[in-house]
Structure 1
């Protein structure tokens, strides 16, 4: 998939639109005010715009590093972009209407929005799983350090999607039992884990890309990526365990917003400079000196 393909242009345009939406609604929050937490808040358009804007940029970049054919990559990128736009648009619509987006079945329209959000989530999960499977396939053209970073990042993103699915399923269970208030209050208990694991797919390959621009040999770069993956995994496991038992240093919504915000700069930088695959270093063949022989001086 080239950088001028329609899927690439659509994804890039959508990502900047999502980031612009997050910035706009941040201004709205500052001018209008209102709660940061809760089922009805300007926080939702902000965090969804940030997270999906960064995620679409990330998927746009890493698709060029994966082995599937260009048509398959374009299809996956298009599906991911469309689902991200659907999710953020519906969340934003409900925020402007002043009603909850998730677990809301008060009216026929609200029920349709809730079901559409669930459908978008299914599409996102399917695309992420497909990308993860692609990353786990052999790809000799990509450096081992980048392969590991991509695989670890996509596995983390899969876990993030799984956490989101668990929260949605739990909330829908409570809502169907007539406990909508409990769903709004407790269904987001895994949001810190969801946020922390979501953007590993940007940060880890970004580190591998940066290391590839240094004079470090590939063996050392691979060792550093392994250490980083282990450290990131330990942090994610700690955050997930703490969230499961209800222990958080900050609120789930704040954790999600901060996690998305700190990845904007790397996302923009690697969209601009990290589009080309990091390939395996070529093996240099020793140069043979010509052999002198006879009066001509050479063979």
Structure 2
């Protein structure tokens, strides 16, 4: 679906777009594979059973495969509206795609080994996997922060409301990344102080905030793109996007309050 949305802004140089298209196709293909992996593990869960919640469950390869796959495809599409050098964008997207594969791969591996993927330092191998996932999360924060900064430094191209949608999407996505980093940091501290089980439970309050804010970078720009296909005026389309941004902000704020109250 996202590949069909990839309508490059008219004012982007054609030569630059031609140079980045193979990377875009690779990122969309990789995202598709990750989504299919998540769906495949949903079938595994249906067959194998077991708990859905908890540090060891088929839920993690399902949700992470779907989330990382959709996010990779969304970021690949949305960044086509950013005013950024094509070579830099290509490098950032390829590193982002590789990092997504590492994250989902590590989580899936540990699910099949029937051990936790995050915060598990029971054995040297589990420690390597856990730390690799943590470092990969840091890389994600840096890459997406760069895209977010670019979106605010120079107004993104595209139809009416797209600039607001892209900027808001990246801003909300950064909330998801910060909440994810907070979960890992809090868990690591508890593990290092000998509270392994408490570390697994400590991530629960931030999960709603992390989940709600993760896909704004897809939902909001997709709304702006869809509205550009209507006959409504630019002012009406912008107001609809602004309303959607406001609703998303309220949802994120509510999830944040829940996190504070349940910590």
Q: What is the TM-score when the length of structure 2 is the normalising length? A: 0.90
Query: 1:20–1:219: structure 2 CA closer, same or farther, 3 Å change rule?
Result: same
**Which of 35, 38, 42 is matched with 1:19 structurally?**
35
The structure where helix makes up a greater share of residues is 2
2:162 paired with 1:156: no
The answer to whether the 8 A contact 1:11-1:78 is kept is yes
The answer to whether the 8 A contact 2:156-2:166 is kept is no
Counterpart CA distance in 2 for 1:131 and 1:143 is: 19
Counterpart CA distance in 2 for 1:141 and 1:100 is: 42
Matches of residues 2-41 of structure 1 in structure 2 within 5 Å? Answer: 2=18, 5-41=21-57
Aligned length: 247
Name the counterpart of 1:132.
148
Name the counterpart of 2:60.
44
Q: What is the TM-score when the length of structure 1 is the normalising length? A: 0.79
The answer to whether the 8 A contact 1:2-1:8 is kept is no
Which stretches in structure 2 are left out of the alignment for 5+ residues? Answer: 1-16
Runs of 4+ in 1 over 6 A off after TM superposition: none
Tell me the C-alpha RMSD between the 2 structures: 1.5
**Which of 97, 112, 125 is matched with 1:96 structurally?**
112
The structure with the largest alpha-carbon Rg is 1
The answer to whether the 8 A contact 2:19-2:86 is kept is no
2:161 paired with 1:176: no
For 1:111-148, what per-residue CA distance to the aligned partner results, in whole angstroms no more than 9, with x for missing partners?
A: 10011001110110011100101111223743451000
**Which of 230, 244, 254 is matched with 1:228 structurally?**
244
